[in-house]
Amino acid sequence: MTFFEMLDQQGATRKCYAEVQRWIDETGIAGLQRRMEEAEAIFRRIGITFAVYGEGGDPERLIPFDLLPRVFSRLEWQRLEQGIRQRAQALNAFLYDVYHRGEIIRAGLIPQDLVYRNETFRPEMIGFDPPGRVYSHIVGIDIIRTAPDAFEVLEDNCRTPSGVSYMLENREIMTRMFPELFNRGLVTPVDNYPAQLLQSLKEVAPPACKGDPVVVLLTPGPLNSAYYEHSFLADLMGIELVEPADLFVDRDRVWMKTTYGPKGVDVIYRRIDDEYLDPLAFRPDSMLGVPGLFHAYRAGGVTLCSAPGAGIADDKAIYVHVPEMIRFYLGEAPILGNIPTWQCGKPEDLAHVLDHMAELVCKEVHGSGGYGMLIGPRATREAIATYSQRILANPGGFIAQPTLELSTVPTLGGAGVVGRHADFRPFCLVGKRMRLVPGGLTRVALTEGSLVVNSSQGGGVKDTWVLRD
Amino acid sequence: MLSRNAENLFWMARYVERAECTARLLTMGQRMAVLPGSAFLDEWRSVLRVTGCESYLDHDGPATEADIVRILLLDPDNPSSIQSCLARARANAKSVRTALTQDTWEALNLSWRRLADIKPAAALRELAALIDWVKTRAAIFRGSVDTGQLRTAGYDFMRIGGGLERAQMTLRLLEVKYYVLLPETDVVGGGRDHYQWTSVLHALSASRAYHHVYGGVHTPWQITDLLMVNRAFPRSVAFCADQMGWHLGLLAQEHDGPAAAHATLGEISDMLNRGRNGALFQRGLHESVQQCLALTNRLASEIAEAYHF
């Protein structure tokens, strides 16, 4: 039975949704739909758009926004928060370990090939201590819910998780359009996220930094699909939004080119993949990148956030071992569980997957954005046959998970309120200490029954409330 | 500020100004083209020539209004078309999103799509309304900059870019006049010549201003005086030079002043000062306009060099 988050088992409105229910009753469906068009016009005018790679069409598409908020009670959030912090801490401990002594591998808990032969592992990082021993400064954890008390982690994002701008803008639009919903103070605010992010970034300033650290946000440029978010965050933090061509390295320090001449940079929140950071250290054919950047980083002249090589912690093959990491590094039981996962690289798992493909969801280990996956129960026999050939050609490149009964959240449909499957991505900040804003991004599949919430595949977003009590 | 941001702001303001000025050129061409005998003189071709777009004409006959709409209003591949200018201004704005207020960004973000979707025939029918629309969009942009942008270096770069482009477009409007007018005479001749000169004023929204400053009679040297050396008229070259000088001065307070750019600006001012009371017209309008255009181009490259664009 799918859990519809708005109602309890008797069909009554759950307490945390009382305010939303009251609002729906007062405004009426037709009224809400009128306001929906208004919201869309605001999004278009502000220019919050999302480009989808390889789909052609409108390069500046809008992400669909649904008016009805998704609500967590204070108790639900407390548990989520503990689980998220625990996980972010364990992932950073794991990163430090694999780039140093590799204790978890020596202990036989994670096969060494899975780490050292992984393409996201960066041998260049071995033995280097990043400031504060932090590798992943923004940990985005994708969480799904399958029952009132069952939250599970779908995947971790330790590199440059995106979507936080939607968390902020969705709330902003809701507050602007429906101030009456917020004036009783029921909902905890999220608007201090940019200040907390800046604080976290300043806390990891490099040894060479004297005085107040100069922080910049490094973007590939306006053609990147998340460019809106890059400029939005830089704006709210009051820091420069730089492109690689604005930076250069001299005497182990990074400088940006300004109208006054060169200005030193201490911390770089980079939204560029490892491979494109520095053509001298990584991909030599990269047209992006700042030559010498990695050298300056290792020399303590600048801090890169996230650290190169942080991707090893959010690899889908490593994911399976995160509960083990939590027990190993923290000595605690995992608060948020994993979804049972079969690794096709293991012969016994492969056999099970091939026998049960019609019931499972199969994914590429290195895939993201909902691409290249197969949802067994929805797939034709031909599609399954084709996909199993792909798995057999490279078993280590695939994992499989059961088809889950994702919970549904209230969504505005044509005739009324309908339930649509959703997931949740909170953003945990790691500097000298950990910070977590009460909220996150709820992505929702707007098509009935659909389980794919990625915006690149027609998913939408909605505001997420954490109630004060 | 980042040099790239300075450059983007400078060009963003230029493109908006260029879109508006091109719209004004269209107004002027339209007025001139409806005068008797205009097909013979090919007014529209002169508009293409001063904007450097003559090569976009795909036939040898006299240029038509339809050609102009296609080339100067809609053609996305012609970097001087209004459509391109608005799209480029927006692209510049997007690259410096953090240096702009929400209002300024919205002013440009709303401008760029309308012309992309319009059919040439419809554009031709609605030309006057479209020209007005372009001018309105430019006004909204300037209004949002004026009332919302921080008065920091970024603002100075916008004002310098805007001033430079506006000066150049006023000069180009005078060039159209040069190409279509046969002999230059001291007094505005009858009928046709009169309308041509007043079309220039009309396109710059300067008809009434002219009467306030010079009284009721139109003389070519006074019209030139208003458009080139009058410091009170905001589209005159002298006014734009003052504007650039002011903002270059502000920038110089924080930076090591770019000596070359200031010297060039001084040269422009000297030239205009010496041209008062009709002297400029006596020396030859075409030569003066050409000289002034060359100096403004030099100024642009000196600014770029000084601020590491």
Instruction: Nearest chain A residue to B4 by CA: give it.
Output: A246
Residue bearing the bigger pLDDT, A62 or A465: A465
Residue bearing the bigger pLDDT, A302 or A9: A302
Per-residue pLDDT, averaged over A46-60, amounts to: 52
Domain identity same for A372 and A351: yes
Count CA within 13 A, CB hemisphere, residue B20: 25
- pLDDT tier for residue A50 given thresholds of 50, 70 and 90: low
B95, B105, B254 ranked by CB distance to A222: nearest = B95
Residue A250 is assigned to a structural domain of this protein: no
Structurally, chain A folds into a number of domains equal to: 2
B4, B91, B308 ranked by CB distance to A243: nearest = B4
CB B216 within 8 A of CB B271: no
**Domain residue limits at A461:** 15-206+302-334+405-466
B2 part of contact set with chain A, CB < 8 Å: yes
Chain B residues with beta carbon closer than 8 angstroms to that of A227 = 94
B255 CA: distance to closest CA in chain A (Å): 6
CB A274 within 8 A of CB A125: no
CB B114 within 8 A of CB B133: yes
CA distances from residue B83 to A58, A324, B1, B122 in whole angstroms, order as listed: 18, 59, 29, 15
B234: which DSSP letter?
T
Domain identity same for A29 and A130: yes
Mean pLDDT of chain B: 87
| pLDDT, tens only, A169-224 | 999 999 988 998 998 889 999 999 999 999 999 999 999 998 999 999 999 998 88
B160 part of contact set with chain A, CB < 8 Å: no
Domain identity same for A45 and A146: yes
B residues 243..272 contacting A (CB < 8 A) = 251, 254-255
| pLDDT, tens only, B104-113 | 988 898 777 7
Mean pLDDT of chain A: 90
Residue A259 is assigned to a structural domain of this protein: no
Residue bearing the bigger pLDDT, A226 or A216: A216
CATH number of the domain to which A376 belongs: 3.30.1490.270
- pLDDT tier for residue A56 given thresholds of 50, 70 and 90: very low
Domain identity same for A394 and A409: no
Q: Where are the domains of chain B?
A: 3-306
Q: What percent of chain A has a predicted confidence (pLDDT) above 70?
A: 95
CB B207 within 8 A of CB B198: yes
> How far is residue B127's CA from residue B62's CA, in Å, rounded to a whole number?
20
A257 part of contact set with chain B, CB < 8 Å: yes
Domain identity same for A63 and A167: yes
Closest to A425 (Cα-Cα) out of A163, A152, A61: A163
Domain identity same for A386 and A451: no
Residue A127 is assigned to a structural domain of this protein: yes
| pLDDT, tens only, A351-396 | 999 999 999 999 888 766 566 788 888 889 999 999 999 999 999 8
Retrieve residue B229's tokens.
């050396």
Q: Note the pLDDT of residue B257.
A: 64
B105 part of contact set with chain A, CB < 8 Å: yes
Which residues fall within 8 angstroms of residue B68, CB to CB, at 6 or more apart?
B26, B29, B44, B47, B48
Q: In this structure, what are the phi and psi dihedrals at residue A92, rounded to the nearest 5 degrees?
A: -70, -35
Q: Three-state DSSP class for A61?
A: strand
Q: Note the pLDDT of residue A456.
A: 66
- pLDDT tier for residue A150 given thresholds of 50, 70 and 90: very high
Give me the residue label for tokens 């040269």.
Answer: B267
> How far is residue A206's CA from residue B69's CA, in Å, rounded to a whole number?
57
Contact B106 A45 (CB under 8 A): yes
| pLDDT, tens only, B139-190 | 999 999 999 999 999 999 999 999 999 999 999 888 877 766 544 444 445 5
Which of A231, A242, A259 is most worth mutating to test chain B (most B CB atoms within 10 A of its CB)?
A259
Domain identity same for A307 and A356: no
A258 part of contact set with chain B, CB < 8 Å: yes
Closest to A250 (Cα-Cα) out of A303, A291, A280: A291
A44 CA: distance to closest CA in chain B (Å): 9
| pLDDT, tens only, A94-138 | 999 999 999 999 999 999 999 999 989 999 999 999 999 999 999
Closest to A451 (Cα-Cα) out of A429, A423, A421: A421
B2, B94, B110 ranked by CB distance to A242: nearest = B2
Chain B residues with beta carbon closer than 8 angstroms to that of A224 = none
Domain identity same for A396 and A411: no
Residue type, A22: R
Q: Note the pLDDT of residue B91.
A: 92
- Whole-model pTM: value is 0.83
Domain identity same for A148 and A63: yes
- pLDDT tier for residue B285 given thresholds of 50, 70 and 90: confident
Instruction: Nearest chain B residue to A241 by CA: give it.
Output: B98
Give me the residue label for tokens 């230029």.
Answer: B14
Residue A261 is assigned to a structural domain of this protein: no
Which residues fall within 8 angstroms of residue B21, CB to CB, at 6 or more apart?
B165, B166, B169, B170, B172, B173
- pLDDT tier for residue B192 given thresholds of 50, 70 and 90: low
Instruction: Nearest chain B residue to A233 by CA: give it.
Output: B98
Residue A200 is assigned to a structural domain of this protein: yes
Per-residue pLDDT, averaged over A45-64, amounts to: 58
Domain identity same for A25 and A94: yes
Domain identity same for A109 and A192: yes
Task: Name A242's bridge partners.
Answer: A218
B307 part of contact set with chain A, CB < 8 Å: yes
Residue A267 is assigned to a structural domain of this protein: no
Chain B residues with beta carbon closer than 8 angstroms to that of A231 = 94, 97-98
Chain B residues with beta carbon closer than 8 angstroms to that of A234 = 98
Residue A142 is assigned to a structural domain of this protein: yes
CB A121 within 8 A of CB A169: no
A222, A232, A246 ranked by CB distance to B91: nearest = A222
Task: Name A62's bridge partners.
Answer: A49
Chain B residues with beta carbon closer than 8 angstroms to that of A259 = 1-3, 6, 153, 251, 255, 307-308
Chain A residues with beta carbon closer than 8 angstroms to that of B106 = 45-47
Burial class (CB in 10 A: 0-12, 13-18, 19+), B159: buried
Q: Note the pLDDT of residue B190.
A: 56
Residue A296 is assigned to a structural domain of this protein: no
A46 CA: distance to closest CA in chain B (Å): 6
Domain identity same for A27 and A80: yes
